[in-house]
Amino acid sequence: MTELAIAGVLEGALRRLGSEGHPFATIVASGPRSALPHARSSRRTVAAGEWLLLDFGAQVDGYCADITRTVVVGARATERQRVLYELVREAQQRARAGVRAGMSGRDADGLAREPIAARGFGEAFGHSLGHGLGLEVHEAPRLSKTNAEPLPAGAVVTIEPGVYLPRDGWRADRGRRSSGGGGPGAVERRPDGPVGARVTLGAMNLDIIAQLVQILKEAPELGAIEVRRGLFGAWSSVRGEQGRAFDQ
């Protein structure tokens, strides 16, 4: 099946079960595309033994739900896949057990970031741990290493650590979706490329640019990724063979 076909099955099931809509575009990303933090579903056919990332949401009585699941399709997971899976699961469980009202968004983020960094994958976790969830799919508070504010009592927040590696990367997300707060904002499918993407950054983030360059070096079949700063910025290409970031 293609990613788009899987997305259609998933969205149909959500509607049949009572979802009033989709709070964001369903993401189905397979193989090397699962290492793109904010991919879009494409016409790529899913192959056995690959990661398959499913990132989707629902709305009931106006409130948003958001969940990500990553699986290995059609084959037993390799040892490397199992190691990555267990690492991200451990980080997620540590954060779920430790996040409390009154702690800072920075400290909450650190609960998941620390075990990932301790294993040498800190640079591969390029977005914030999570964000608020409610009538909007992205609300305050932010679980981010830049947020020193305390988390309020009663807030519903996402817990979504991830490791993004060329051909390997994936994210664990307990009922939510990452965007905006610490990651690349909106991502669009490139009209002139089979699996490329367009990334809009709310602000310059060299860590994300470096991740994109490394992904393209290891997976040149992805083509170029175009990046801009802000909604009205000019598009510039990031290409693995050139290792090029975009103009400020």
Give pLDDT tens digits for 119-141. 999 988 988 999 999 999 989 99
Over residues 163-204, the pLDDT tens digits come to 888 755 555 554 333 332 333 322 222 333 333 454 545 444
Q: Are 25 and 40 in contact (CB under 8 A)?
A: yes
The reported pLDDT for the residue numbered 175 is: 34
The reported pLDDT for the residue numbered 99 is: 94
Is the pLDDT at 224 greater than 80? The verdict is no
Q: Are 129 and 161 in contact (CB under 8 A)?
A: yes
The reported pLDDT for the residue numbered 95 is: 95
The reported pLDDT for the residue numbered 187 is: 27
Q: Which of 13, 8, 1, 2 is nearest to 25 (CA)?
A: 8
Residue with more model confidence, 239 or 188: 239
Which tokens in the block code for residue 25?
């575009």
Is the pLDDT at 61 greater than 70? The verdict is yes
The reported pLDDT for the residue numbered 247 is: 36
Q: Domain residue spans in the chain?
A: 3-171, 187-238
C-alpha separations of 167 from 30, 52, 62, 94, 221 in Å = 9, 11, 37, 26, 11
Over residues 39-49, the pLDDT tens digits come to 889 999 999 99
The reported pLDDT for the residue numbered 39 is: 86
What stretches of the chain show up as alpha helix (H) in DSSP? Answer: 3-16, 79-98, 105-118, 206-218
Q: What are phi and psi of 227, to 5 degrees?
A: -130, 145
- Decide: pTM greater than 0.85: no
Which tokens in the block code for residue 52?
């398959």
The CATH code for residues 3-171 is 3.90.230.10
The reported pLDDT for the residue numbered 114 is: 96
Interval 65-77 mean pLDDT: 91
Q: Are 170 and 27 in contact (CB under 8 A)?
A: no
Residue with more model confidence, 46 or 236: 46
